[in-house]
């Protein structure tokens, strides 16, 4: 076995003992040195009888104090600011204990200045030893890095803030043999010319192309997790001329544990260009609603449902019920959450929300305090072809859950709705509007607080436009867009999920909350951006082809109508629309007839007519109208009122 390997194994095996021995040695030198300095290297004879006792007591209290602060368990090569703080605390506490001993033992002749001198020497010697080991380790690592200089990727980090500094430290400590950070770029001109851990801040974002050429940069990393979509567009536009690959880190709203590391770096995606300001949450209200409570999430394996589960786990519920009828989706979300949140009690429940007997068993056994209902059929074309299933799942499934929530005394019930429920033109939109109507109706006769939260499309959800576009680009095109004027509202999955949780804590019963979706985005522009981010040119490398509006689709989705009052709440991104609730008996009578029609195999046209009894605004012909007609319809939609 090589000698260096034997030496390393010896040091690792006896590391703790060696650490204690070195500390004892340095403390002995510190106390002895303090006396010598105090008396100018001529120690009076009167101190010799007690010197050994004082040394023994000092070594004992120092050892106990350092062990209590965990100073013997760390690896010195990773010594940092936290270790320095712990060193100050451990040394100060042990000095105070020693002073107490001197006082109680009656050693009035002990020079008080010795304590301060010894404290300083102990700090300098022990701290110097630890940081010295770290420095030597880094020097040794740098020699190894120099030997592999040509193999490492040269990086430019955009963003000389906390996130950029954290990534740089991790690169130096863990990935030194793979990455070579050569420069920073930052929008703050005051930082230009300074350096972080030896890496210069070489210029502003406008200087990026020049920095890339001068420093021979292989890759650009955007280390600004708080960047908005507009910021990201500007950064990408400035960095692209450099011709290098660009990676970024997740946004703040996606950092569940608040930590950033190299493994989270990824290519810039369309979500980054459309993302908006991080969501600010009322942590106290969320903790009151979730911490120590039993929470149920239906559709837990879906895009929104699974993200709701991740966000809920942050608030440490006593139990999280994962209700999902897809076995594979439930397996995946349960496996992920179990690994990510080992302290949370997870209960995966394979169940169909329309199966009343099964759902009743779950409610009776676990007694959830809060239900977040995300299970639904959501694809408009599929529900046009299978209207009875939209009724069974979206309407009757919601009704079943709401009835059980009221029966078993659930405190809060939050239903995920959609912008397609406003002036619906599709079976799917009408089914979600019917679910909203029932939620409002039952809210009038129960203590359970029922609310609905309405928002538009979420970026990257299963079956949404982005994954489909990516598949088409990977296949070489064409990218199929239904209509050149087709527009949609978009949110990121974490943003939508966080706002759903927040809205769920704000309800008093019967509200339909509307999330601020920002400005609608043209789908064709989305396609062009995605093609560009893939390193290709729209209409040259990848063709964009228009396929025509599908049955049930609108050109422009809506979030509020003239019949709704969409007013500002205490949260800047959550609005509240109050539609007058319908009479419970009238609603249940209509829904009974609709359910019977769906179960009997009635035609789609017959089901639509039944739906119109409660949703008279259902406009089937709008799905096939031309762009001008829909533009006129869109103009009638009142914007969310932002006054208080």
The reported pLDDT for the residue numbered 297 is 96
Q: Where in the sequence numbering do the catalytic residues fall?
A: 420
Domains of the chain: 3-146 (no CATH), 149-268 (3.40.50.720), 283-456+491-518+560-635 (3.40.50.720)
The reported pLDDT for the residue numbered 91 is 85
- pLDDT tens by residue, 169-201: 878 777 777 888 899 988 888 888 888 888 899
3-class state of residue 294 by DSSP: strand
Q: How far is CA 339 from the centre of its chain?
A: 16
The reported pLDDT for the residue numbered 388 is 94
- pLDDT tens by residue, 520-571: 777 888 788 778 776 677 777 888 888 777 665 666 665 554 444 456 665 6
- Give kind and range of the element (H or E) at residue 155: strand 153-158
**In terms of C-beta density within 10 A (0-12 exposed, 13-18 middle, 19 or more buried), how is residue 511 classed?**
buried
β-pair partners for 203: 185
The reported pLDDT for the residue numbered 640 is 43
Are the CB atoms for 74 and 1 separated by under 8 Å? no
Distance between CA atoms of residues 367 and 369, nearest Å: 7
Q: Which residues of 552-566 are buried (b: 16+ CB within 10 A; e: fewer)?
A: bbbbbbbbbeeebeb
β-pairing verdict for 266-267 and 245-248: antiparallel
- Residue 549's region, left for phi above 0, alpha for psi from -120 to 50, else beta, is beta
| DSSP per position, 129-147 | HHHHHHHHHHHHHHHHHHH
**In terms of C-beta density within 10 A (0-12 exposed, 13-18 middle, 19 or more buried), how is residue 99 classed?**
middle
The reported pLDDT for the residue numbered 524 is 83
The closest of 354, 351, 437, 350 to 391, measured between CA atoms, is 354
Q: How far is CA 321 from the centre of its chain?
A: 21
- Residue ranges in the chain modelled with pLDDT below 50: 1-4, 6-7, 10, 148, 252-258, 561-565, 621-644
3-class state of residue 363 by DSSP: helix
Are the CB atoms for 527 and 469 separated by under 8 Å? yes
CB proximity list for 312: less than 8 A, separation 6 or greater: 290, 295, 297, 320, 372, 501
β-pairing verdict for 370-373 and 457-459: unpaired
The reported pLDDT for the residue numbered 374 is 93
pTM for the predicted model, two decimal places = 0.60
φ/ψ of residue 288, rounded to 5: -65, -35
Which residue carries 């006396």 as its tokens? 35
The reported pLDDT for the residue numbered 38 is 80
The reported pLDDT for the residue numbered 624 is 34
The closest of 340, 270, 337 to 492, measured between CA atoms, is 270
Are the CB atoms for 530 and 270 separated by under 8 Å? yes
The reported pLDDT for the residue numbered 125 is 82
The reported pLDDT for the residue numbered 392 is 95
The closest of 160, 269, 162, 166 to 208, measured between CA atoms, is 160
Distance between CA atoms of residues 438 and 398, nearest Å: 8
Q: What is the dihedral of CA 583, 589, 591, 592, to 10 degrees?
A: 150
Q: Number of helices and strands (H, E) in the chain?
A: 23, 22
Widest distance between CA atoms in the chain: 110
Distance between CA atoms of residues 306 and 372, nearest Å: 11
β-pairing verdict for 487-488 and 521-522: antiparallel
Distance between CA atoms of residues 567 and 457, nearest Å: 21
Distance between CA atoms of residues 393 and 431, nearest Å: 9
Strand spans (E) along 329-369: 346-350
The closest of 406, 394, 442, 421 to 577, measured between CA atoms, is 421
Distance between CA atoms of residues 70 and 605, nearest Å: 72
- pLDDT tens by residue, 394-433: 999 999 999 999 999 999 999 999 888 888 888 999 999 9
């Amino acid at each position: 076995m090589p000698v260096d390997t034997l030496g390393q194994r010896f040091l690792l095996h006896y590391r703790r003992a060696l650490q204690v021995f070195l500390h004892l040695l340095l403390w002995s030198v510190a106390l002895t040195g303090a006396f010598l300095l105090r008396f100018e290297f001529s120690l009076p004879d009167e101190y010799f009888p007690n010197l050994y006792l004082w040394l023994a007591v000092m070594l004992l209290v120092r050892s106990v104090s350092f062990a209590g602060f965990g100073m013997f368990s760390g690896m010195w090569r990773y010594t940092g600011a936290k270790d320095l703080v712990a060193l100050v605390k451990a040394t100060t506490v042990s000095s105070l204990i020693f002073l107490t001993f001197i006082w109680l033992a009656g050693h009035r002749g002990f020079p008080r200045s010795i304590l301060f001198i010894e404290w300083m020497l102990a700090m300098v010697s022990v701290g110097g030893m630890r940081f010295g080991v770290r420095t030597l380790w880094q020097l040794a690592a740098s020699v190894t890095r120099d030997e592999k200089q040509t193999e490492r990727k040269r990086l430019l980090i955009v963003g000389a803030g906390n996130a950029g500094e954290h990534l740089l430290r991790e690169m130096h400590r863990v990935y030194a043999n793979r990455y070579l950070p050569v420069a920073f770029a930052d929008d703050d001109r005051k930082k230009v010319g300074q350096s972080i851990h030896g890496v210069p801040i070489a210029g502003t974002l406008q200087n990026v192309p020049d920095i890339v050429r001068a420093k021979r940069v292989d890759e650009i990393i955007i280390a600004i997790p708080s960047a908005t979509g507009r910021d990201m567009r500007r950064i990408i536009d400035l960095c692209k001329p450099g011709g290098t690959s660009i990676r970024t880190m997740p946004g703040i709203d996606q950092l569940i544990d608040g930590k950033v590391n190299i493994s989270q770096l990824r290519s810039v995606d369309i979500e980054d260009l459309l993302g908006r300001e991080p969501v600010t949450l009322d942590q106290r209200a969320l903790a009151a609603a979730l911490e120590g409570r039993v929470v149920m999430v239906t559709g837990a394996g879906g895009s929104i449902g699974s993200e709701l589960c991740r966000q809920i786990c942050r608030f440490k519920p006593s139990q999280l019920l994962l209700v999902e009828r897809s076995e594979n989706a439930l397996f995946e979300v349960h496996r992920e959450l179990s690994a990510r949140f080992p302290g949370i009690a997870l209960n995966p429940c394979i169940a169909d929300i329309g199966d009343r007997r099964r759902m009743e068993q779950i409610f009776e056994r676990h007694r959830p305090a809060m239900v977040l209902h995300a299970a639904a059929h959501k694809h408009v074309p599929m529900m046009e072809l299978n209207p009875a299933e939209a009724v069974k799942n979206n309407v009757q499934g919601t009704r079943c859950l709401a009835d059980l929530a009221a029966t078993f005394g659930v405190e809060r019930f939050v239903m995920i709705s959609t912008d397609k429920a406003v002036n619906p033109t599709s079976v799917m939109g009408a089914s979600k509007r019917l679910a909203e109507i029932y939620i409002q109706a039952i809210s009038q006769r129960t203590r359970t607080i029922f609310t609905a939260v309405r928002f538009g499309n979420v970026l990257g959800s299963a079956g949404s436009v982005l994954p489909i576009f990516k598949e088409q680009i990977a296949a070489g095109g064409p990218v199929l867009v239904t209509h050149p004027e087709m527009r949609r509202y978009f949110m990121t999955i974490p943003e939508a999920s966080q706002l759903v949780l927040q809205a769920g804590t704000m309800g008093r019963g019967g509200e339909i909350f509307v999330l601020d979706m920002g400005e609608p985005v043209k789908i064709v522009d989305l396609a062009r951006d995605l093609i560009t981010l893939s390193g290709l040119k729209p209409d040259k490398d990848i063709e964009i082809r228009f396929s025509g509006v599908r049955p049930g689709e609108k050109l422009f989705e809506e979030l509020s109508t003239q019949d709704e009052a969409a007013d500002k709440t205490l949260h800047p991104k959550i609005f509240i629309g109050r539609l007058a609730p319908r009479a419970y008996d009238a609603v249940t009578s209509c829904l009974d007839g609709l359910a019977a029609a769906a179960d009997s195999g009635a035609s789609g046209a017959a089901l639509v007519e039944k739906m119109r009894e409660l949703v008279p605004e259902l406009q089937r012909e709008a799905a096939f109208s031309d762009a001008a007609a829909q533009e006129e319809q869109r103009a009638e939609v009142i914007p969310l009122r932002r006054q208080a």
